[in-house]
Structure 1
């Protein structure tokens, strides 16, 4: 039987809608959920969920944090629900999904539209994120130098008037 793992990174209210869409799109698949410990009781309300795996860490999904129960298990599809249309802001979950053995990864947005995301796209997002960090550091350094040099001069002019 084909299986799906949903990495619960959204509210259960949204997940209610997403699970219905996932079942419609992938009929006959076995569905499992990976959730934080505080979400287990709420995840148990779903009748068609076969397994609930606990993410044993208090922090958000982080690359490197292993879940022993699924470490060697292979899934046909890993679904990453997101609370917006584009998936922006969920890079940590996408990156974490790379630790899970899967044939493909799918983003399911707030309106339950699903699109496959490739390994290359996730790696590209990682590179883009790193470039933005470097750019912001350089821009902050340049602005700081500008402020340190020119702000005191400007303040002296203001106090003289």
Structure 2
């Protein structure tokens, strides 16, 4: 039997809505879920979720955090529910998914659209994040230098006008 692991990164209310579409998209799959400890009882109410794994950390999903229970397991698919339309802002969860063995990875958005995301695309998102951070840092540095150099001159000019 094929297995689908859902990494719960969205609210339970959203999962209520998404689960119907997930079950339609993945018929015949046994659905498992990885969630934080405080959500285990809430997840157990879903009859379609056969196994619940506990993410044993208080913080959000991080690639450096290993889940011993999942080591050596392989899934046919991993699905990451996101709380927006594009999946932006969930890079940490996507990156965490790369630490698990799976044939395919999927994103399920707020309106239950489901699409595949490749490991290469996830890595490219990481590269883009680093590049955008570097460009932002460079721009902030240039603006900061300009402000430090020009502000005293401008203040003196305003002070003279005010006399």
TM-score (norm 1): 0.98
Tell me which residue corresponds to 1:8: 8
TM superposition shift of 1:74: 0.3
Three-state SS of the structure 1 residue aligned to 2:64 is coil
* Structure 2 unmatched runs, 5+: none
Q: Deviations over 1:6-58 (max 9, x none)?
A: 00000000001111111111111100000011111111111121111010111
Give the paired residue count. Answer: 161
Q: Deviations over 1:136-156 (max 9, x none)?
A: 111111111101100011011
Inter-partner Cα distance in structure 2 for 1:101 and 1:19: 22
Tell me which residue corresponds to 1:35: 35
Tell me which residue corresponds to 1:48: 48
Moved over 4 A (4+): none
Q: Deviations over 1:85-138 (max 9, x none)?
A: 110010110000001100000000111110000111101101100000100111
TM-score (norm 2): 0.97
Tell me which residue corresponds to 2:140: 140
Inter-partner Cα distance in structure 2 for 1:16 and 1:75: 22
Inter-partner Cα distance in structure 1 for 2:144 and 2:27: 57
TM superposition shift of 1:71: 1.3
Inter-partner Cα distance in structure 2 for 1:82 and 1:92: 12
